[in-house]
Amino acid sequence: MKDIALLIGNGVNTMSKGISWEDLLDKIIHYCGSTSIKKDKSKPFPLFYEEIFAAALQSQAIVKEVELKTFIGKQVSDIARNQVHVMIQQLAPAHVMTLNYEFLLEGKTPKQNEGLVREKLYSVFRKYTIGGTTYWHLHGDCRYPITINLGYEHYGGQLQQMRNYVATATNYANASNNKLPFVKRMEKPDKLTIQSWADLFFLKDIHILGATLDFVETDLWWLLTFRARQLRLNRRITISNTIYYYIPKPFAASSRFKLDLLEANFVKVVEIDLPHSVNYYEKIIAGM
């Protein structure tokens, strides 16, 4: 068991043969009867999702959002497990955070959400433990389709819950949940327990791979900028972990604007001199 945390994005899933993101968008549009909607890469996906959802309601193709999210959950669940998923599991990190909704990293569908708070919609605490590794599903999961985080409304609610937990205070009914904001609890590090995946951004070395970290990921960018502010301004706490972001070197030049912003927020960028491939992930994992 390695006392590190991984943050895994959809790039890992693209190593599997099967449905692509473009294919999935086409299927969603067709399912909603929204064929008049035009795909455009300049549309931020959370807003594009809202456009699709609104059109589906107007045409009465669906009645409730859970129908659409259940359909999407079924589509992503059909992705086949690949060699990279297996390598990550064999690495046996203490924590795996994933932006994906299926359970390819776990290797099987867990039976029960073990989060400290039984969230019905958001995913600040959502976790499963398999083989000694804790898996955190940051944007929901297929077992509970309504938790799948896709639209602007959901992103906004998720960020609100996160900010309450990390920076201000929570009002969850669970008696075992320490309701002090996380940064306040960090003033007494000897008494800290990990309650949420957000805690890991302050306590564990994190390796981010297969994640584009587009700016629509407002929850993650807020957390990174908040952490950076604490490093610069909050003298009452100590943050000594390192966050690494891996990117294939062929993509680095076109992503320089984003890499500059990551580095400005105390994220160490690691360029791997390989194309995006199984070998790329193999080299990263071998170095951990």
Please state the domain extents for the chain: 2-16+80-286, 19-78
User: Looking at residue 36, what DSSP letter applies?
Assistant: T
Predicted confidence band of residue 164 (pLDDT cuts 50, 70, 90): very high
Provide mean pLDDT across the span 75-104: 96
Q: How far apart are the first and last CA of the chain?
A: 12
The residues that bridge with 5 in the sheet, in sequence order, are 95, 206
What per-residue confidence (pLDDT) applies to 35?
A: 75
What per-residue confidence (pLDDT) applies to 88?
A: 98
Predicted confidence band of residue 186 (pLDDT cuts 50, 70, 90): very high
What per-residue confidence (pLDDT) applies to 71?
A: 94
Q: Two tokens at 204?
A: 């564990």
CA distances from 240 to 202, 244, 256, 261 (A): 8, 13, 26, 20
- How does strand 267-272 pair with strand 93-98? unpaired
What per-residue confidence (pLDDT) applies to 162?
A: 95
130-144 confidence digits (pLDDT tens)? 999 999 999 999 999
Exposure string of 199-208, with b = 16+ CB inside 10 Å and e = fewer, is bbbbbbbbbb
Instruction: Find how far residue 98's CA is from the centre of its chain.
Output: 5
Predicted confidence band of residue 23 (pLDDT cuts 50, 70, 90): confident
133 phi, psi to nearest 5 deg: -100, 135
38-76 confidence digits (pLDDT tens)? 888 899 999 999 999 998 898 888 889 999 999 999 999
What per-residue confidence (pLDDT) applies to 174?
A: 62
Predicted confidence band of residue 210 (pLDDT cuts 50, 70, 90): very high
Average pLDDT of the chain is: 93
| Helix, coil or strand: residue 143 | coil
The identity of residue 114, as a single letter, is E
pLDDT above 70 (res 176): no
Q: What does R_g of the chain's alpha carbons equal in angstroms?
A: 19
230-282 confidence digits (pLDDT tens)? 999 999 999 999 999 999 999 999 999 999 999 999 999 999 999 999 999 99
pLDDT above 60 (res 163): yes
What per-residue confidence (pLDDT) applies to 180?
A: 84
pLDDT above 90 (res 182): yes
The residues that bridge with 144 in the sheet, in sequence order, are 141
Predicted confidence band of residue 15 (pLDDT cuts 50, 70, 90): very high
Residue with the larger pLDDT of the pair 209 and 56: 209
